[in-house]
Amino acid sequence: MINRKAKNIFLRSLRNEATMTNFPCDAEANLLNADLFPASGGPPHELFDAWREADPVPWNPPVAAYSQGRSHRLVHKGFWVLTRYQDVFEVSRDPSRFTSHDEGFLIWDLDDAELARQQANFMGMRPEDHQRMRHLVMPPFSPKAMVDLKPRIDQLAKDIINSVRPDGSCEFVFDVASKLPVYTFCDNGNS
């Protein structure tokens, strides 16, 4: 298990100390604020720009209002926000310190059963288990293999779109975008 204190020290070291001020993450400038994304017309790019300038790795504290009235998807711990590409790149390449196995790959607090389900998922495996699994499943997803699969992937995409078309609307991420990689992966496994 990764030492949380060591991880926090490393994340703080990514901050630009020369320009860092005590930039607050108040209730309005908090990614858990339910009004933030609609008010911004999508991702709050101006907030991310301000964070990148003043404090590129801010701590996003929990917001009590976020969890009120919810029995699941609670956030009591808060989370770090990486706002610079290079930091995201470096963290994503450092599984010895940054792994989804320890606390899950979502921002929500997880009970033991939910964490165990996520740890069984490809994204939540221990880094060494994830690496072994990648070596097993990656050959069918090589660039050459994907070129051969393109007609089938195109058909899967059309099928997914056609499945939501009768409703006249959809939640794109959940109803469309999340399905194509899963369907492609499962379909490829049956080839």
- Domain-by-domain residue ranges, the chain? 4-98, 139-189
Q: Examine the pLDDT at 88 and tell me if it is beyond 80.
A: yes
Condensed to tens digits (0 to 9), the pLDDT of residues 12-44 reads 666 544 344 445 556 578 898 888 889 989 999
Per-position b or e across 135-152, b if 16+ CB within 10 A of its CB: eeeeeeeeeeeeeebeee
pLDDT of the residue at 3: 47
Contact by Cβ (8 Å): 156, 184 = yes
Give dist(CA 103, CA 101) in Å, integer: 6
Condensed to tens digits (0 to 9), the pLDDT of residues 92-137 reads 888 878 888 888 777 778 888 888 888 888 888 888 888 898 888 8
pTM reported for the whole predicted model? 0.59
Give dist(CA 189, CA 149) in Å, integer: 12
Condensed to tens digits (0 to 9), the pLDDT of residues 157-180 reads 999 999 998 988 888 888 888 899
* Torsion angle of the four alpha carbons 168, 169, 170, 173, in this order, in degrees rounded to the nearest 10: 120
